[in-house]
């Protein structure tokens, strides 16, 4: 369990600044997710916290203690890598016990800790297998198990689900959420580029953009009160519709944002009208793409099956109180 | 024709037809391999079989087709004198041959061990990231790129007792009190040959080790750092086991080379009993001493020794030459 503080943390590789001054606090036992597009510095920030990379300037504190120059193994962290990073020549048990064995921990204690972690993750029957004999999902669980055995105060995840297929990703996501619930005294920091993972797992999300923090908040806060067009566009699926020009002018802003789920078809009192140019039917929902004359067709989310032929003109009406107005800088208007 | 719909019973495909695609593939594979098989037969199998055949005859260099079958006489034979004394003859009781066998084995084991060790160290250095790594990687290959004759002559001069730079340096440093004839002296000849071979072949070993090292995924080193494992332990417990397959193959290549060592010894220490290898001595008999059949017997033995050695190595070292494990 650790309270992590970052004060003006910067990282540059030569002349390239990757992390450009980050101030952030991660509470004890919190599940913090770093999210952002590729190249935003989220993985670099995680490596700085882990100690695998050293910070160029600024301060990093674990429980008030400066850890800038502590090596990774002294920070009380465990890390789950995107590629699992299992030792290919060791079986599952040895993979999980390796660190403890070489730290001269007692055999009994090592066995107890490995078996407890294996039980938590339901990989007890795999302890004799080599990594190459496991499926991707099992490997990822072993990697998580290895992290649990370290009994860390901070758990770091670097895009742990990226190499799994869609079904496994959902299942493993659930397990990670359960893990957080079971180990509620351990601080977890999780990096992903997938906003769904961020929304479903996080206590708080930190949206990063170009080496800086764009917004930090609970998933609901980011969804309801994004403080820039970037966050508004990044959080939520499908992404928010942005309207500019004459559409925005009538709302006295530069960019008008409205989420697909906050748009309704309206025959009697439409605000915008246009042709249906495309439709996606997901069974539970339908997404209609309506060309109202803006740069992009407006995406309208409708419950259930909506059989509307392409080319038909429909009227669209946004729900009151769910419009986001942004100024020319992409910041919210009051 | 005019009635395309007429029901003509479709002949059930014969078994031969069904596998025809597979057969076509096999046939194509055979024709692709045929030129190489023919070439290998001409340059490897045929000369080998001829040599083995010669070793059972009394062929001489002057009359290659006039040899008569003599059985195992070139390998081992005995004659009982009228006095009752038994005289053994043949390669297998020839002290010069066994000296050559011992020299070859000593040379192979020592030089390959040193080359593996140094090669691994060099590979570890070259695997690290530093400025000018590309240049160093290229530069380190130079000794290997120099033809053996050239490097043997070059080292021959450097090791020369009168004018050699090595004696000069050692004298100036006060490490030796008088000039040493490194290549000619029976005590130092083998060391000189090994030195030059190690100098020449370490780059090759380093290259093969480097290829092995680059197969090791980098993230497991990061996992080891998080586990807090000492770098030395990481080397022995993680790196070494993972590059072992590549290392074993590299060692076997070098071992095959070293066991048939000829050129370096021939140029650097001609006619020195301390360094004569199996190849050297069989060539002597084949060409210089006009004991063609006897030399053939030694060549055949050399082949057998290498074959047995490699088979043992693969078996005991569980070397995965077929790549079965990595599938």
Instruction: Using the 3D structure, point to which of A233, A259, A294 is the last residue of a domain.
Output: A233
Interface of A with B (CB under 8 A): 50, 52, 71-74, 77-79, 81, 83, 85-89, 98-99, 102-103, 146, 150
pLDDT tops 60 at residue B12: no
pLDDT tens for each residue of A104-138: 788 899 999 999 999 888 899 999 999 999 988 89
* A165 and A65 housed in the same domain: yes
- Measured from the Cβ of residue B76, the count of other Cβ atoms closer than 10 Å reads 15
Share of chain B above pLDDT 70, in %: 91
Tell me what pLDDT residue A39 has: 87
Burial class (CB in 10 A: 0-12, 13-18, 19+), B232: exposed
pLDDT tops 50 at residue B26: yes
- A218-244 mean pLDDT: 92
DSSP character at residue B69: B
pLDDT tens for each residue of B207-235: 899 999 998 888 899 999 998 888 899 99
Assess if residue A200 is contained within a domain. Answer: yes
Q: Of B228, B238, B241, which is closest to A103 when you measure between CB atoms?
A: B228
Are A85 and B220 within 8 A, CB to CB?
A: yes
- For residue A78, the chain B residues in CB contact (below 8 A) are 226
Are A85 and B219 within 8 A, CB to CB?
A: yes
pLDDT tops 80 at residue B39: yes
* A262 and A193 housed in the same domain: no
Assess if residue A333 is contained within a domain. Answer: no
pLDDT tops 70 at residue B91: yes
Beta bridge partners of A208: A213
- B35-60 mean pLDDT: 91
* B50 and B170 housed in the same domain: no
* A229 and A242 housed in the same domain: no
* B166 and B313 housed in the same domain: yes
pLDDT tops 60 at residue B6: no
Tell me what pLDDT residue A290 has: 93
Burial class (CB in 10 A: 0-12, 13-18, 19+), A310: exposed
β-pairing verdict for A77-80 and A154-158: parallel
- B144-165 mean pLDDT: 89
pLDDT tens for each residue of B253-296: 899 889 989 999 999 888 888 889 999 999 988 888 888 888 99
* CA distance to partner chain B, nearest, from residue A86 (Å): 6
- A262-280 mean pLDDT: 90
CB pairs under 8 A between A and B: 57
Whether B59 and B67 have beta carbons less than 8 Å apart is answered as yes
Tokens of A326: 């942004």
Tell me what pLDDT residue B11 has: 52
* CA distance to partner chain B, nearest, from residue A73 (Å): 5
State the number of CA atoms in the 13 A half-sphere of B46 facing the CB.
7
Average pLDDT, whole number, for chain A?
90
Tokens of B293: 């059949």
Share of chain A above pLDDT 70, in %: 99
Assess if residue A207 is contained within a domain. Answer: yes
- B181-199 mean pLDDT: 89
* B222 and B107 housed in the same domain: yes
Tell me what pLDDT residue B72 has: 82
pLDDT band (50, 70, 90) for residue B322: low
Distance CA B269, CA B189 (A): 7
* A100 and A121 housed in the same domain: yes
- B92-100 mean pLDDT: 88
Give me the number of domains chain A comprises: 2
Whether B236 and B253 have beta carbons less than 8 Å apart is answered as no
Closest chain A CA to residue B241: A89
Which residues lie below 8 Å from residue A319, measured CB to CB, with a gap of 6+? A262, A263, A264
Of the candidates B312, B322, B207, B320, the residue with the CA atom closest to the CA atom of residue B259: B312
- A15-28 mean pLDDT: 92
User: If you write DSSP's letter for every residue of A86-153 in order, what string do you get?
Assistant: --TTS-HHHHHHHHHHHTT--HHHHHHHHHHHHHHTT-GGGTTS-GGGS-HHHHHHHHHHHHHHT--S
* B128 and B29 housed in the same domain: no
Alpha-carbon dihedral angle through residues A226, A229, A230, A231, given to the nearest 10 degrees: 10
Q: Range of A314's domain?
A: 238-326
Assess if residue B66 is contained within a domain. Answer: no
Tell me what pLDDT residue B36 has: 96
Give me the number of domains chain B comprises: 2
* A215 and A291 housed in the same domain: no
Assess if residue B109 is contained within a domain. Answer: yes
* CA distance to partner chain B, nearest, from residue A85 (Å): 5
* CA distance to partner chain B, nearest, from residue A248 (Å): 49
Are A73 and B226 within 8 A, CB to CB?
A: yes
DSSP character at residue B239: I
Of the candidates A325, A265, A320, A329, the residue with the CA atom closest to the CA atom of residue A298: A265
Tell me what pLDDT residue B1 has: 43
- For residue B219, the chain A residues in CB contact (below 8 A) are 81, 83, 85
Tell me what pLDDT residue B327 has: 42
Which of B220, B223, B232, B233 to mutate: most A Cβ within 10 Å? Answer: B223
pLDDT band (50, 70, 90) for residue B119: very high
Are B226 and A77 within 8 A, CB to CB?
A: yes
pTM of the model as a whole: 0.77
Assess if residue B63 is contained within a domain. Answer: no
Instruction: Using the 3D structure, point to which of A233, A251, A278 is the last residue of a domain.
Output: A233
Q: Range of B48's domain?
A: 22-54
* CA distance to partner chain A, nearest, from residue B110 (Å): 29
Assess if residue A215 is contained within a domain. Answer: yes
Instruction: Using the 3D structure, point to which of A188, A217, A233 is the last residue of a domain.
Output: A233
Distance CA B54, CA B296 (A): 6
Assess if residue A245 is contained within a domain. Answer: yes
- For residue A96, the chain B residues in CB contact (below 8 A) are none
Tell me what pLDDT residue B13 has: 52
- A272-287 mean pLDDT: 90
Interface of B with A (CB under 8 A): 217, 219-220, 222-223, 225-230, 233, 237-238, 241-242
pLDDT tops 80 at residue A198: yes
pLDDT band (50, 70, 90) for residue B10: low
* B99 and B33 housed in the same domain: no
Q: Of B219, B225, B233, which is closest to A83 when you measure between CB atoms?
A: B219
- For residue B222, the chain A residues in CB contact (below 8 A) are 52, 79, 81, 85
């Amino acid at each position: 369990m650790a309270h992590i503080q970052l004060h003006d943390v910067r990282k540059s590789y030569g002349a390239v600044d990757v992390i450009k001054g980050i101030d952030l606090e991660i509470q004890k036992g919190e599940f913090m997710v770093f999210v952002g597009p590729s190249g935003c510095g989220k993985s670099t920030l995680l490596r700085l916290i882990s100690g695998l990379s050293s910070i160029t300037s600024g301060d990093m504190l674990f429980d008030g203690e400066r850890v800038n120059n502590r090596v990774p193994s002294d920070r009380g962290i465990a890390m789950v890598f995107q590629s699992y990073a299992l030792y290919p020549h060791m079986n599952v048990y040895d993979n999980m016990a390796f660190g403890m064995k070489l730290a001269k921990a007692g055999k009994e204690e090592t066995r107890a800790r490995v078996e407890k972690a294996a039980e938590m993750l339901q990989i007890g029957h795999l302890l004799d297998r080599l990594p190459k004999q496991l499926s991707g999902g099992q490997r990822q669980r072993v990697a998580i198990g290895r992290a649990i055995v370290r009994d860390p105060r901070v758990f770091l995840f670097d895009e742990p689900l990226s190499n799994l297929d869609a079904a496994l990703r959902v299942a493993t996501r659930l397990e990670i959420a359960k893990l957080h619930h079971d180990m509620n005294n351990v601080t977890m920091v999780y990096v992903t580029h997938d906003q769904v993972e961020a929304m479903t797992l996080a206590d708080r999300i930190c949206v990063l953009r170009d080496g800086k923090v764009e917004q930090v908040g609970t998933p609901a806060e980011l969804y309801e009160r994004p403080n820039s067009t970037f966050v508004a566009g990044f959080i939520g699926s499908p992404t928010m519709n942005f309207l500019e020009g004459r559409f925005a002018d009538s709302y006295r802003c530069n960019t008008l944002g409205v989420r697909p789920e906050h748009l309704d078809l309206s025959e009697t009192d439409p605000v915008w009208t246009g042709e249906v140019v495309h439709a996606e039917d997901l069974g539970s929902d339908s997404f209609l793409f309506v060309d109202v004359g803006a740069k992009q067709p407006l995406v309208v989310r409708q419950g259930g099956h909506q059989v509307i032929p392409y080319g038909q003109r429909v009227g669209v009406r946004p729900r009151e109180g769910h419009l986001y107005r942004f100024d020319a800088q992409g910041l919210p208007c009051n | 024709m005019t009635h395309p719909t007429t029901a003509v019973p479709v002949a059930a495909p014969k078994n031969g037809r069904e596998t025809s695609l597979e057969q076509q593939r096999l046939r194509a594979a055979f024709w692709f391999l045929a030129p190489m098989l023919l070439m290998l037969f001409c340059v490897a199998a045929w000369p080998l079989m001829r040599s083995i055949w010669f070793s059972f005859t009394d062929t001489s260099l002057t009359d290659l087709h006039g040899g008569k079958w003599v059985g195992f006489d070139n390998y081992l034979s005995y004659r009982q004198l009228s006095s009752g004394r038994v005289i053994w003859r043949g390669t297998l009781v020839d002290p010069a041959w066994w000296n050559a066998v011992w020299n070859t084995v000593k040379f192979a084991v020592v030089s390959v061990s040193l080359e593996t060790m140094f090669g691994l160290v060099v590979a570890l250095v070259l695997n690290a990231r530093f400025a000018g790594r590309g240049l160093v990687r290229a530069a380190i290959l130079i000794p290997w790129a120099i033809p053996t004759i050239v490097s043997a002559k070059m080292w021959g001069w450097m090791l020369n007792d009168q004018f050699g730079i090595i004696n000069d340096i050692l004298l100036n440093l006060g490490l030796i009190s008088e000039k040493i004839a490194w290549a000619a002296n029976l005590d130092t000849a083998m060391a000189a040959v090994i030195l030059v071979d190690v100098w020449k072949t370490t780059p090759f070993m380093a290259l093969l080790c480097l290829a092995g090292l680059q197969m090791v995924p980098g993230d497991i080193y990061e996992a080891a750092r998080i586990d807090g494992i000492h770098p030395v332990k990481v080397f022995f417990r993680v790196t070494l086991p993972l590059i072992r397959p590549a290392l074993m193959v590299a060692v076997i290549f070098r071992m095959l080379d070293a066991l048939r060592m000829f050129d370096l010894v021939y140029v650097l220490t001609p006619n020195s009993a301390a360094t004569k290898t199996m190849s050297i001595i069989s060539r002597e008999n084949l060409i210089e001493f006009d004991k063609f059949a006897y030399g053939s017997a030694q060549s055949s033995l050399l082949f057998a020794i290498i074959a047995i050695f490699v088979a043992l190595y693969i078996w005991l070292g569980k070397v995965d030459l077929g790549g079965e494990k990595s599938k």
